[in-house]
Structure 1
């Protein structure tokens, strides 16, 4: 039975090597194509190294097919150079895996970053010395380089990666209650342990211990299946688990958008309460105070009624002061007179810049002065427009422009998002709130949007109101 299996794989060795390279190349490519720039997870910061490992290791595997074919066409020097390049691809791919594992554990053991670089440098220097100061042939040099790349780079690198994935799963994924992502990362860790054994221990044959006892040939003779086939299966598990685990970045962005929506709703509600207090309760309290003052002037100072009116007026004034303090606490937008500073803070707010590129064009003099109330309303309009661009339009770039022309102040927010079919009578609360603020500024808000063509919001305000 084992003989038949061995014969089958011997006849299809090229297919095994092709699949081996394909699995790891797709792993690297899929990671490279996944956008992670908005993520706050340490895993996102480190995955670039795993992508490098996948691409380089896939190319190394395909080299085992390509180099023997070229040997029939190229001279000895050309083939030797290809063999050297193939060894470097193998070793550097393992070095990238080592670096990936070290990066996952950076906050726990920072020295691992330097350890991986030191071991990689030592392996390269040893290769140079072996090639320059000994008379071994390229074939033997390639064999020794492969053996020690497995021992020094693949074995510790894959084991560190396995532990690093488990560590990140426990630290950052489990608290988010993402059970399927947590289980997937743990399974990926087990796959890397298997890869560590296969790539680190079962490498090329050597005439010394341990590669003379534990090597690819011994494994193939024992089970009939070549070692690259086992690596291919392990790589397939790694590919599937890592690809599934990368869903966490989409979930993370959804969570960030949800948090931003909640913050926007809270801000809008605070603004509504503040305006109602100002226009309703405080105005009524002022009116009551005026009536009491009028009544107080008609009563003699020694009258008991006068004393009670004085106490009532004192209590009313304290209530008005309390309401004003409450309104001040509700105000969340900056109240700085310098609108330039406020816009700079708003357009560089990580709430927006982690989801899209935001640029600010300020074409007003730095000395342009706005009252605190004006700055508050303008910044609230910008904040709502940016939130809509990120939350609904899925824009990748937004431009905020502030300028003045013919004594009119213009503020525009333009995005390249999906747009929408806009109608004044069908707009949501956020857009109504923006128009209300524009009216409070004595200005006008125009919204120009078409489905699929982005959105342009323009606030115009006469300069004399500034």
Structure 2
């Protein structure tokens, strides 16, 4: 890209300066037509100026050499013809741009004095008008340049601030997207653990029991196989509903209490433990997400009791209180230490389900002392209930 000694923020002023220089030079050449040497010098000065402003951006050193030669040529022509004196005005802007501020202002002052001196040389003396003209031009050039640079610096600060805000917003968008993906991944993990994984575990336990009874009690083995087939059908329905993001099949045509009772009965049929279910309090309508959470927590707790606790008795209680609903799953199995990291993903998934609805999940257990899981959910406002 072709540029000139002015930097991009000064480009509007640059075109004005170049135009002013060429117009003033043309006027000076017209006034100096009778003198061939002045005309030739003026043309050479114009060519030299254009060569400097149309080349690729020079480094500061060569640009200042160009400015010094341009100033020398202007001074010679200003002494030869008064029409060239006014070319000092565009030179003011070049000084202010190409020189550091500590040198630019004194340079403008010296250039102003040179313009006043050249005018006095041709007029035979110094008048107030001859002093005010270049001085006002220099003051206007200094004020315009400083004001424009200040505006540009402010604009640049705002541009940098906007860029930083845009980058920050992009980072926030990426962070929110990552958080959403992690949340969805956690949700999918909980759903898979509480539905498909638990169902597959039940099927495996039933098939093992059927194989164990195959040689001794074919009737019992056949019953186990039928239960496994039913569990597989339920698991398939869970998988299909999971893909469609629907509620558990057990909730689609029944109340929460009936759904928990069927889950309990199904778990009892697949386990050697005695499992009972009861409801306490006055049942209240709950939003679907509450019922889904309680069903999944019950499935997870019963699955843990069947696979890990080796309990003889398991009790499931759904309690409706004035401002909350509580699901308790208690067994008399071998227990465990809830503080151990190996406590498993299931408890963490159940805890996340309760926490997502503003509730809590409490686990009380110790080795050899059974396990009690209590999920407490605050009842939503009456208008939010189903």
One fold, TM greater than 0.5? no
In our comparison, the structure showing a higher alpha carbon Rg is 2
Q: Which has the higher contact order (CA 8 A, sep 6+)?
A: 1
TM-score by length of 2: 0.37
